[in-house]
Amino acid sequence: MPAAPPSAESGAGEGSRGSDGAGYRRVRTESAPVGEGKESLGADHHREVAPELGGRFRVDGREGVLERGERVFDQPEPDPGPGRGQLRPGEKVLILSAAGGVGVCCVQLAKAAGCEVVACAGSADRANRLKDIGADHVIDTSTQNYVAEIHRLYGKPRTRGGGGVDVIINYTGGDTWAECFRALTLNGRLLTCGATAGYDPKTDIRYIWSFEFNIIGSNGWTREDQIELLRRVDNGQLKPIKHCVLPLTRAKEAMTDLIDRKVFGKAVLTP
């Protein structure tokens, strides 16, 4: 069924007239899946809505129907980007062990999606470098408790909503698994993509049901993921961070830096 015509409260500005002289408002609408018989309107979702046509829209000479539940925006919603997290602008994202190769990529992707990023690292130096690549807040876990810092920044999560972060990216596992539950908001999303500190951690299912968490496995190795990431590197949206580039004969040095937690980004070995 057609939705009611967008109201003045929608925030859409008055715009141009159609080619037939009818008065139209130029609006932008929320992205929605393209269903059977419904044509995609392009990445920026421009639609010209004629009040006299009720819920119908006109774009590029074509007409269609505004679906029920579609909302009107002055600006298009940013692309949530690749991956399972489906980040949305304004969400608060906590990234544990963010100074590694996966972490520095996650920081950049979350910022590109319009999120507020909290990044953790095991030293003050690496925490400061995370700020340089876009993190809004950094936590040095060698001296600070990240759960306490999240409570300080956003409040303690409550079962009726409020407090905590919207998304946690945890590829550490081990002791951080159940611990990070205390930083996640109601209906929050926990992405698990690794287990460097242990694959069989103690858990606390009380938090999972009480806060209705969404626990999401994220592997990130589909062909589509890799193509999208490389596209972003190519156009400068994503910057690979290299700690060092060493010949294979010096692999021991790279491994020592890794063990000593000095690596920021990736240590690259060449043949």
Judged against a pLDDT cut of 60, whether residue 81 lies above it is answered with no
Judged against a pLDDT cut of 50, whether residue 132 lies above it is answered with yes
Judged against a pLDDT cut of 50, whether residue 76 lies above it is answered with no
More confident residue, 204 or 17: 204
pTM for this structure? Answer: 0.70
Judged against a pLDDT cut of 80, whether residue 177 lies above it is answered with yes
Judged against a pLDDT cut of 90, whether residue 43 lies above it is answered with no
Neighbours of 229 (CB within 10 A): 19
Q: What is the rounded CA–CA span in Å between residue 183 and residue 187?
A: 12
Q: What is the CA radius of gyration of the chain?
A: 23
Q: What is the rounded CA–CA span in Å between residue 47 and residue 51?
A: 12
**Tens digits of residue pLDDT in 229-240:** 899 999 999 999
- Poorest-pLDDT segment among 16-30, 92-106, 223-237, 254-268: 16-30
CATH fold group of domain 92-234: Rossmann fold (3.40.50)
